[in-house]
């Protein structure tokens, strides 16, 4: 892990703490990046999708909004290295599968969650435990 990635991991850890993901501490005071703010709404949007699937409804389509991952400024600019775009592509492809295929929605949703986590393992491990809660267990 490069030093800059360590910094991002640390910031992610702090934001996870701030969110009560890890323990009920008050919010940390670092300024939130565009990417961090987008991610926070993405978490809520993923919960909305999850709820729709559990209720056997068609999930709302957030793909256009999520494409902002490509351009949103991260806390640490070094996050946007040569691997970041492939991770984003993989995430959006998992969403394509979810919206194109009415069958296997639970499995396809879990693949989306898996691709959130794949990117987080690389860049931002702090929120992983929280993201894992999105998985739908049969
Ligand atoms: C392509 C990589 C990538 C994907 C895919 C991704 N994330 Fe993130 N996520 C990040 C990075 C990088 C950050 C740190 C943002 C920053 O600090 O600027 C982050 C931050 C977060 C945060 C913390 C935000 C805060 O409060 O600071 C949450 C929560 C989060 N992501 C949830 C998700 C969820 C849920 C998904 C899938 C629906 C997802 N992420 C998909 C890279 C990704």
Query: 64-110, pLDDT tens digit by residue?
Result: 999 999 999 999 999 999 999 999 999 999 999 999 988 899 999 99
The residue range of the domain holding 44 is 3-22+36-132
Residues 3-44: tens digit of each pLDDT: 666 666 666 766 655 555 554 444 555 689 999 999 999 999
Placement of tokens 């809660």 in the chain: 133
Q: Tell how far the Cα of 46 is from the centroid of ligand 1, in angstroms.
A: 12
The model's pTM is 0.88
Q: Is 68 in a helix, a strand, or coil? A: helix
Q: For ligand 1, say whether the CB of 80 is within 6 Å of any of its atoms.
A: no
Q: Is 46 in a helix, a strand, or coil? A: helix
Q: Is residue 29 part of a domain?
A: no
Helices (H), the chain: 3-18, 34-54, 63-66, 84-100, 105-123, 128-132
Q: Is residue 110 part of a domain?
A: yes
How crowded is residue 50: how many other Cβ atoms within 10 Å of its Cβ?
20
Q: Is residue 138 part of a domain?
A: no
Q: Is residue 73 part of a domain?
A: yes
56: left (phi over 0), alpha (psi -120 to 50) or beta: left
CB 110 within 8 A of CB 133: no
Q: Ligand 1 test: best mutation among 44, 124, 133, most atoms within 8 Å of CB?
A: 124
How crowded is residue 132: how many other Cβ atoms within 10 Å of its Cβ?
13
Q: Is residue 49 part of a domain?
A: yes
Q: Is residue 28 part of a domain?
A: no
pLDDT of residue 103: 86
| pLDDT band with cut points at 50, 70 and 90 for residue 132 | very high
Q: Is residue 60 part of a domain?
A: yes
CA dist 108 and 127 (Å) reads 21
Q: For ligand 1, say whether the CB of 42 is within 6 Å of any of its atoms.
A: yes
pLDDT of residue 99: 95
Q: For ligand 1, say whether the CB of 39 is within 6 Å of any of its atoms.
A: yes
Q: For ligand 1, say whether the CB of 36 is within 6 Å of any of its atoms.
A: yes
CA dist 55 and 36 (Å) reads 29
Based on the structure, what is the number of domains in the chain?
1
Q: Is residue 103 part of a domain?
A: yes
């Amino acid at each position: 892990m490069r030093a800059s990635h360590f910094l991002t991991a640390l910031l992610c850890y702090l934001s996870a703490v701030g969110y009560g993901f890890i323990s009920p501490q008050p919010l940390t005071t670092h300024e939130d990046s565009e990417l961090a703010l987008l991610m926070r709404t993405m978490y809520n949007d993923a919960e909305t999708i999850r709820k729709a699937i559990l209720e056997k409804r068609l999930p709302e389509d957030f793909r256009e909004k999520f494409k902002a991952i490509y351009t949103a400024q991260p806390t640490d600019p070094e996050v946007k290295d040569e691997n970041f775009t492939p991770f984003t592509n993989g995430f959006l492809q998992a969403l394509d599968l979810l919206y194109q295929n009415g069958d296997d929605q639970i499995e396809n949703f879990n693949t989306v969650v898996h691709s959130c986590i794949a990117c987080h393992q690389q860049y931002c491990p702090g929120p992983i435990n929280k993201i894992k809660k999105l998985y739908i267990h049969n």
